Amino acid sequence: EIVMTQSPATLSVSPGERATLSCRASQSVSSNLAWYQQKPGQAPRLLIYGASTRATGIPARFSGSGSGTEFTLTISSLQSEDFAVYYCQQYNNWPSMYTFGQGTKLEIK
C-alpha cells in the first residue's frame, strides 16, 4: 500500500514570503499527484493536478513540481487567504488508488 508523507506538519510563514510544502510517496506515482487547499469549515478545493497543472481559477502564485516520489507545492508570495491546510493525493497506484497525505497546516508567522 502506498503511503503519502507531507512535511512539515505545520509551516509558519509571514505574508508576502514564499512557502514550500513537500509531499513524498513511498513508491513512484509518476506525475499522478494533486494538491488541495482546505480552509476551516470548508470543503477542500483542487489547486493542482498532474503534479504541476493549475486547476481553473487558481492564481499563478501557486505552482507544483516533481515526479516519481518527490513533489513540491510552492506559493510564491503568501496572501492572507492562503493560510489553510494543504493535502496531496496520488492517483496512480492500485489498489490504493486515492491516497491522501496527512496534510500541512500553513499558518501565519
Partner 1 sequence: EVQLLESGGGLVQPGGSLRLSCAASGFTFSSYAMSWVRQAPGKGLEWVSAISGSGGSTYYADSVKGRFTISRDNSKNTLYLQMNSLRAEDTAVYYCATIMVVVVVAATPAGYFQHWGQGTLVTVSS
* Residue 15 Cβ vs partner 1, minimum distance, rounded to whole Å: 25
* Pick 15 or 39: Cβ nearer partner 1: 39
Residue of 86, 108, 97 lying closest to 6 (CA atoms)? 86
| Coil, strand or helix at 44 | coil
Site for partner 1 in 65-84 (CB under 8 A): none
Beta pairing class for 10-13 and 104-108: parallel
Q: Does 92 bind partner 1 (CB under 8 A)?
A: yes
Q: Does 60 bind partner 1 (CB under 8 A)?
A: no
Q: Does 86 bind partner 1 (CB under 8 A)?
A: no
In degrees and rounded to multiples of 5, residue 58 shows phi and psi of -85, 130
